[in-house]
Amino acid sequence: MKKRNRRLLRIFCLLFITIILLVIGILFVNDVFNRNQTKIEELYFEDITNKKEIGRLLSIDEKENNIYYKVEYPAIGDDLIDKEISNEVDNLINKNKKQYLNESDNLEYYYFVNYETYIGVNSLLSIVLNENFVSEDLKMVEDKAYTYIFDLTSSKKINKEDIFKGEYLDKLQSYVKNEELSEDFNFVIKNDQLILIDYEVSIPVMEIKDYLKIDLSNKKDYSSDNVEPVYKIVNKQYKLSDDTLLYNAPSIKGNVVGNIKKDEIVNVYSQSDKGWSVLLYNDKVSYLESRYLKEIDNIEVNGEVKVYAMMDVNIRKNASTDSEVLGVLKEGDSITKIGEVGTWTKVLYNGEEAYIASSCLSLVKINKREVKLNIPPQGDIDPDKPMVALTFDDGPNPDSTPMILDVLEKYNVRATFFDLGNLMLKYPDIVRREAALGEVGTHTYAHKDYNKLSVQEIGEDLRLSREAFKKILGYEPILMRPPYGNANATVRALADMPIINWDIDTLDWKYRNKNLILDEIDKYGNLDGHIILMHSIYTSTAEAVEILVPDLLDKGYQIVSVSELATYKGYTLETGTIYHNFK
């Protein structure tokens, strides 16, 4: 019996010693891992607090099998952007797990992600995710940067092709010394600088504006001139023209404290002369940019909006072209809008919900009227012979536009120039020469995308354009070409002019090469009745015109203005209507 008890006692002691040694071993391994983790984290997890201009820090800090994860990423306060970034972080982590989790080399691995955020021109948000993957023996170190650009006003992700145009790679290469610029280069836009982060090169956006699609006329003022804003008490309700962010201070560098959706009604307490409005939102004082506020006028009925038919349009039971037709809304008639579903507008029809295609509706009623065109008594145009209209946007330009005008004058032909109001005021003599050798239409005042503006913003830009015309030429414009050719129903109603677009795009903004511009025109074959789009701000376009005009004349074409082309082809132009050609 005693012998049996001694045997049990020895077994118990051995088990106890084994457990103690096992615990010590685990603690030792964890201590080594934690010391390695701290050492490697200090090496690779750089403190870049000064590079976080916007957003709240979110983090993932965990260990799974042989990999330790420390991931930091931003929450901006915008649901769509935050979801996009969260998905990107999940994708990075899952890709890493798939490749390295449970590696058989018995090494521990460390995966770090840190982030940077910057605010740039035109409310662009740049986000950088810096990824590091390190083995505990430091023999394997991988790092990579991922960049994302978002439009804070629309919450949309912006791709490289949305930022750059033309031969931008060659232009950017000129700033990169002794190194080849990769086509998949990473960049951010901070304040008014474009930064090539892989090359540590910073470029003022105004130096490369001809290679950018973004509207630099909306550039934010980041200067600290210490001039105190003046606030005016308004105590007024406004409606949001677009989704927008709320800040804790009157600056887009402030912390985002919320967001408000398009068409939401807000009570504004006061507004500053620096473009900010103050309101109480969720019991907190918040700030938003005043440009997103629009007046609530008599088209509002208890939060509902009256819309007008641009043409006879079907009223359907559901938001589908296959749905039952309940009735027809006649051109010019109004109906109450109560919501939106994709590309459909939800309306109130006979007391019930119904749907109309949004593209057929306008917030403003279009009163179509015939426009009397400005046709000089030339007497040398034969309506039975082929004719083509050359049109030039974005000018005037002091270098290239006079070159184009010289060609028109030399060959006694006419063209149409769609000028920007702000540039007309800057180069009035060139505009007057354009009018003498052709005709001038408006390309708006500041080249903003009218489809993205409120009714008030469109109205103000048109007013400035008309004032520029009256000051320089003594009359208001009668033809309009909107930037990018964008003219939704509301734009067509407000413009009160025929909209002249095009059906032949020379892509001169892209090619910047006279031969390629001419090749693009040659692709179309017969040009009779067509409207050709070019831009008067490029020397390469002017060089192409020097070859194009005599070549067209040799082929028997009459080169005429848009108004002449429409008149001699038998067209009557009306306000609120888009024209692409007069064949």
How far apart are alpha carbons 443 and 487 in whole angstroms?
12
Quick check: helix, strand or coil at residue 458? helix
Angle, vertex CA 503, rays to CA 499 and CA 507, nearest 5:
110
Going by C-alpha positions, the residue among 151, 152, 164, 82 that lies closest to residue 115 is 82
Task: Name the residue type at position 390.
Answer: L
Q: Tokens representing 253?
A: 């560098």
Task: Name the residue type at position 320.
Answer: S
Is the dihedral angle over the CA atoms 30, 34, 35, 39 positive or is it negative?
A: positive
Quick check: helix, strand or coil at residue 77? coil
Name the burial class of residue 494, with classes exposed (0-12), middle (13-18) and buried (19+) by CB atoms within 10 angstroms of its CB.
Answer: buried
Going by C-alpha positions, the residue among 463, 409, 462, 399 that lies closest to residue 434 is 409
Angle, vertex CA 96, rays to CA 87 and CA 27, nearest 5:
115
Peptide bond into 74 cis (omega under 30): no
How far apart are alpha carbons 213 and 215 in whole angstroms?
6
Going by C-alpha positions, the residue among 104, 106, 130, 101 that lies closest to residue 117 is 130
Give the number of other CB atoms < 10 A from CB of residue 35: 10
End-to-end CA distance of the chain: 117
Catalytic amino acids? 393, 535
